[in-house]
Structure 1
Amino acid sequence: MTKVRDFVVPPSLQAHAEAWLDGGERMTEAAPKLAASVMLLREKQHRPTVFMLRRVPSMAFAASMWVFPGGGTDPRDAEVDVPWAGPSPVEWSRAMGLPQDVAQAVVIAAVREVFEECGVLLAGPSSDSVVGDVTGEGWRADRAALVDHTLAFAELLRRRRLVLRSDLLALQDHWITPRMEPKRYDTWFFVARLPDGQQADDDTTEADLSEWVDPAALLRDAADGKARVLPPTIVQLENLAAAVSFASALVGRPGVIPVMPEPHRTADGIVLRTILAD
């Protein structure tokens, strides 16, 4: 079952939406970059709160928007020899409907980006353990090296004698940026629990603010115009707000289908028309 839902077009995209509707078939369509985004959760009164970043106004994509940690894949994320525990790349490939190397790259990007952007590492010395405090100088140096691409994530794991814990991730959704946009992403959304002994921070140049957010409260702020949130983020926050418990919010969602909003003219103006799984 699917349902149609319309979202407001952000002011920064109004011109792109108009141009696309006026002659989209003649416009150059940007290829979407493969990406991953992770909803990092911790429990508060048996309910999930989620770690979010507000992107700096100078960002070329989603400026000033509240987002989950995430970003694009690195070619080295598809490296063959990666220390790994949990569901294998083959299993992720089946679950996501992607080639094995692509599915692996997305899962690694999810874990790597969470570490780069907020200092949380979903890895451990063994398949049933998770590394503890990762706030020291050496860890900060590793984060910086990942960001400037002088260190591959697989190399970090091998040097630290850790394994990536893919079982700590649960797949939630798959969104593709509308074809009208000049910068596009093909993004897979995951959820993960904040590991015991670790802290999330905002030590990234891409954000000017970070908070542990009550999903329902941020949705109210977005509806009141106090916060800027993109459609895929709105839907993920709604799912978190509807969770009956913290444990249920960590469960993967079956039957994930790709979602790609498209501009559509209505009597009230242009909207982003979206087909969602019901």
Structure 2
Amino acid sequence: MSTAAPEPAEPKPAATVLLLRDEPGAGELQVFLQRRVAGMAFAGGMTVFPGGGVSTDDVPDPARWRGPDPDRFGARLGQPTPLAAALVTAAVRETFEECGVLLAARPGTEPGPLPVTTAWRDALVGRQATLPGLLDEHDLELRADLLVPWARWITPPRNPKRYDTAFLVARVPDGQVADDSTTEAVEAGWWSPADALAGYEAGDMQLMPPTLRTLQELSRHDTASGVLDAAARRDIEPITPEVRREGRVVTITLPGDPDWRYEEAR
């Protein structure tokens, strides 16, 4: 008697941020990367961009939203407006939780050096506060205008944990410092895309296919402004990698790009 294959898991909405800067002094494009704790259930030991799943609390207050309306993000990402608003909110929250950069500012001002926000961050991480609640309490606006959609990746159906992830680009605000004060990563810092790719090729850095592909794309640009300009012009189609196993070797390819391959032994 044949057994029907199990239904694929429903992808959970998530957001990740390509946090950029031009290296002080040299001006070289850099992106912030974190190496996740090896024992984590998802992407353990991998080097990733800051990000995570959408929370039920990621519902923005329209009065605290500055920038393109959520429906414009939804149109770019192919998502309904309420989910697009939640994805942008999650992107801002996760970036603040994981590296201390807050893409928010008081009305009429630009983001800059933050007051002592350790307590805000701890409250978010401990789920004792929500980002919309903190913005309201401290008279801040979520700066959606600082985020530009870059890509949308969906985990292949065969994976037990699946995510439908919006990739967004943002430049780190002047005067703010991205740090490694998160329990989810063992190290974090700024890398030029070329150096990160060299580390991957040398076996010193583990990258998942979306991270690898994105770093390859970023390496075509010299400055953060160049990436942001390119992001505004990109046509975004959902990318679901195709997986094939031959013995212990798993090969991952991308639809529409037969020359791109990612292989790993399992």
Same fold (TM over 0.5): yes
Cα distance in 2 between the residues matched to 1:24 and 1:195 = 54
2:133 maps to amino acid: E
1:32 pairs with 2:11: yes
**Aligned partners of 1:127 and 1:163 also within 8 Å:** no
Cα distance in 2 between the residues matched to 1:277 and 1:85 = 37
TM-score (norm 1): 0.85
**Aligned partners of 1:179 and 1:262 also within 8 Å:** no
Q: Which runs of 5+ in 2 are unaligned?
A: 259-266
Cα distance in 2 between the residues matched to 1:263 and 1:72 = 23
Of residues 117, 129, 149, the one that matches 1:171 is: 149
**Aligned partners of 1:93 and 1:99 also within 8 Å:** yes
1:113 pairs with 2:113: no
2:27 maps to amino acid: H
SS in 2 for 1:113: helix
Distance 1:257 1:86, change over 3 A: same
Residue 178 (structure 2) aligns with? 200
Deviation of 1:236 after TM superposition, in Å, equals 1.1
CA deviation vs aligned residue, 1:240-276 (integer Å, no higher than 9, x gap): 1111433111232421011111212569943112125
Deviation of 1:46 after TM superposition, in Å, equals 3.3
Residue 63 (structure 1) aligns with? 44
| Equivalences, count | 253
**Aligned partners of 2:114 and 2:176 also within 8 Å:** yes
Distance 1:276 1:47, change over 3 A: farther
Residue 67 (structure 2) aligns with? 86
Which one has the bigger helix percentage?
1
Sequence identity of aligned pairs in percent? 41
SS in 2 for 1:106: helix
SS in 2 for 1:101: helix
Distance 1:80 1:42, change over 3 A: closer
Cα distance in 1 between the residues matched to 2:4 and 2:203 = 33
Cα distance in 2 between the residues matched to 1:239 and 1:37 = 16
Deviation of 1:237 after TM superposition, in Å, equals 0.7
98-107 or 44-53: bigger deviation: 44-53
Cα distance in 2 between the residues matched to 1:162 and 1:228 = 37
Residue 209 (structure 2) aligns with? 231
Cα distance in 2 between the residues matched to 1:218 and 1:24 = 44
SS in 1 for 2:175: coil
Q: How does 1:1-278 map to 2 (within 5 A)?
A: 26-44=5-23, 45-81=26-62, 83-134=64-115, 136=116, 139-251=117-229, 252=231, 253-265=233-245, 269-276=249-256
CA deviation vs aligned residue, 1:180-199 (integer Å, no higher than 9, x gap): 21211111111111101111
**Aligned partners of 2:77 and 2:166 also within 8 Å:** no
Q: Which has the higher contact order (CA 8 A, sep 6+)?
A: 1
TM-score (norm 2): 0.88
CA deviation vs aligned residue, 1:28-69 (integer Å, no higher than 9, x gap): 422211000001111023331011110001100111100010
Residue 14 (structure 1) aligns with? none
SS in 1 for 2:251: strand
Q: Which runs of 5+ in 1 are unaligned?
A: 1-22
**Aligned partners of 2:171 and 2:224 also within 8 Å:** no
Deviation of 1:96 after TM superposition, in Å, equals 2.0
Cα distance in 2 between the residues matched to 1:187 and 1:25 = 28
**Aligned partners of 1:24 and 1:180 also within 8 Å:** no
Deviation of 1:167 after TM superposition, in Å, equals 0.7
Distance 1:76 1:221, change over 3 A: same
1:91 maps to amino acid: R
